[in-house]
Amino acid sequence: MTGEVRSRIRERAIKKAKVQIALHGRTVEDLSEDDLEIIVAAEEEKIHKQLVIAPLIAIAVVLGIT
């Protein structure tokens, strides 16, 4: 992946992490840097999986595989 793609994935993961933190009634300031990194890394992993799975699903639909 290029640096720009990684950067966009990171930005999206940070946004999603902030939402998850807020849903749990916390703020970013409540968490340590390590905890924040763990949460963002988990969100990045989810995004990477979506980037791999979505094209495979599209191919399966085109081929009529269910």
Taking the C-alpha atoms of residue 32 and residue 62, their distance in angstroms, rounded to an integer, is 46
1 DSSP 8-state letter: -
Cβ within 8 Å of residue 40, ≥6 positions away = 10, 13, 14, 17
| Residue that is written with structure tokens 């495979």 in the block | 56
Confidence of residue 60 (pLDDT cuts 50, 70, 90): confident
**pLDDT of amino acid 66:** 63
Tell me what the pLDDT averaged over the chain comes to. 93
Which residue segment(s) compose the domain that 50 sits in? 3-63
> What is residue 32's predicted lDDT score, i.e. its pLDDT?
96
Residue that the structure tokens 């793609």 belong to: 5
Q: Taking 80 as the threshold, does the pLDDT of residue 53 lie above it?
A: yes
Q: How many domains does the chain have?
A: 1
